[in-house]
Amino acid sequence: MTLSVGVLMDPIGAIKMAKDTSLAMLLEARRRGHSLHYFEQGDLALRDGEPWGRIAPLDVCDDPQQWHTLGPAQWRDLRELDVVLMRKDPPVDAQFIYDTMVLEAAQRGGVTVVNDPRSLRDCNEKLFSLEFPQCTAPALVARDVSELRRFTAEHGEVVLKPLDGMGGRGIFRVQAGDSNLNSMLETLLGGGAHGEGRQLVVVQKYIPEISAGDKRILVVDGDPVPYALARIPQGDDFRGNLAAGGRGVGVPLSERDRWIVSQVAPELRRRGLLFVGLDVIGDYLTEINVTSPTCARELDAQFGLNIAGQLFDVIEQHVTGNRKE
């Protein structure tokens, strides 16, 4: 089976190629003989309701000096592609939402979009995990300052997060009574510290097991990769995110990890979320990453895996099913 595979991503020339999961996917697609096509957020359009993209032919190789080559871009109907990998990084802002609407039009035309555009809109990476309370630590999502303070006082030590961030940006660890709490809330709420802010904020009970790592568990069509990447905080920083300086160490999944995946997997399959990253600290699910999950290349290198190959086995099955329909 030879497929036309498009990828919507941030500028490919700026990636960290040794760690970039999108590149791992493209390298696997190329190994399988699929043709590759590249476009960015500004290259999408709707013409009389039909999905179009300014698409450039793409070639990739595993070379740290020159990992990609682009041909001339041309406007084409997205429905000429078999697959679109939606790999645009957050924030999931209004423009991202509009992109999913264009991609949904392509999906209606028979294109397999990974992940499903509707689910990218519906499954906020911070809020989606709260649909599985049996897996999560105590948490509150609110704009009301008094409620956020009350929750902080109740649990003693918490983590504050924005709803649309990534890579550990905008995350604060704070104890009840900390004189900086008001300032943190002002920053995250986008309003004053004595009333209601304009933006919802997540406050979550602090999980001390973060010292052993924030585990990224990759899930392909509901099935977990058997190893997680534990992102271990370094120095005085409590955040394990690799983008925030955390160190990645591969570890086998625990029984609790597998149980968490079993709780979440049926809903992932139902929503067409073929490639997802679960974040687990200690015994608790903290986030479900659906936009552009990473860490595949690190796990491949440490354990001799081919996670992108597992994903493309699933994608090819989906395309075959679409063609039969």
List, by residue number, the catalytic residues. Answer: 126, 161, 216, 231, 239, 279, 287, 289
User: Where do the DSSP E strands lie in 195-246?
Assistant: 196-205, 214-220, 223-224, 227-232
CB burial of 25-57 (b: ≥16 within 10 Å; e: otherwise) equals: bbbbbbebebbbbbbbeeebeeeeeebbbebbe
Query: What DSSP element (H or E) covers 75?
Result: strand 74-77
**Cβ distance 115 to 122 under 8 Å?**
no
Closest of 214, 215, 217 to residue 239, by C-alpha? 214
CA angle, 319 then 115 then 133, to 5°: 130
Six-digit token string for 226: 């058997």
**Cβ distance 277 to 293 under 8 Å?**
yes
C-alpha to C-alpha distance for 232 and 126, rounded to whole angstroms = 20
Write the single-letter amino acid at 253: L
Helical pair 296-303 and 307-324, crossing angle rounded to 10 deg: 120
